[in-house]
Amino acid sequence: MPHPSVLAETVLVAPGPSGYLRVRLARPDRRNALDAGMTRALLDIVGADPAVPVLLESTDPDAFCAGADLSVPDRERAEVSDLLYQCYEAMVTRPGPVIAVVEGPAVGGGAQLAGAADLRIAGPRGRFRWSGPPGRDLAVGAWLLPDLIGRGAALELTLTGRWVEAAEAQQLGLVNLVVDEPGKVAAKLARGLLSRGAGAAGNVKLIASAGGLLERLRAEREANRAAWGRA
């Protein structure tokens, strides 16, 4: 059953056939751009039952998530930014795995949502861009990309903000698989993870997040809080 605080029109939640949770971003008119209510709903979902695997995807195969909604006032965008960092931390620290299904563009906060997942399955048209809005001095992804793809590649992507297509993302190690039907492959993977039990996944995630990842996440959150304060 959906969590009671979920905004049904923008985040759809349903149990998968084997017990995992299927979470779908559902704001196609805005390419799943995140406002404060939608981001709060995501935060509630990933924290509501932390042992359950989550499949994070979009109702629109042409867009995963465009990041924070640029049409809302700056005050709300600053709130969205801060809520997103809470959501990333919840995703990283919850014992239940999170699998992101990326079939279209993932930009800014949307790229970070995919990156904060434990596994990423992309379609051929999946693409990533680690960039915030111009003139805001925001750091985007510097906390997590060094662990995923190495410091040199991470700096290049975060400093330039260029697009990374699915094939290159797989070569870099940013995505685990690129397949024609990523949703089906991710669902099969979620069922397999369930069969292994929550304990092993929780231990693996606990160890993988040691060594500075959470410290960098919190540092980027504080840097962006300061940037929004200056704005």
What's the pLDDT tens digit per position in 12-66? 999 888 889 999 999 999 999 999 999 999 999 999 999 999 999 999 999 999 9
pLDDT, one tens digit per residue, over 175-200 is: 999 999 999 999 999 999 988 876 78
Tell whether the model's pLDDT for residue 70 goes beyond 50.
Answer: yes
The pLDDT of residue 231 is 67
pLDDT, one tens digit per residue, over 123-143 is: 999 999 999 888 788 999 999
Whole-model pTM over 0.95: no
Closest CA to 172 of 186, 154, 190: 154
Mean pLDDT of the chain: 92
Q: Is 107 in contact with 129 (CB distance < 8 Å)?
A: yes
Tell whether the model's pLDDT for residue 100 goes beyond 50.
Answer: yes
Three-class DSSP category at 139: coil
Q: Is 115 in contact with 148 (CB distance < 8 Å)?
A: yes
The pLDDT of residue 1 is 41
**DSSP state string for 39-63:** HHHHHHHHHHSTTS-EEEEES-TT-
Find the mean pLDDT for residues 64-86: 95
The pLDDT of residue 4 is 40
For each of the domains in the chain, give its residue range(s) and CATH number, in order of start: 11-230 (3.90.226.10)
Residue 73's contacts (CB-CB under 8 Å, 6 or more residues apart) are: none
pLDDT band at 161 (very low <50, low <70, confident <90, very high): very high
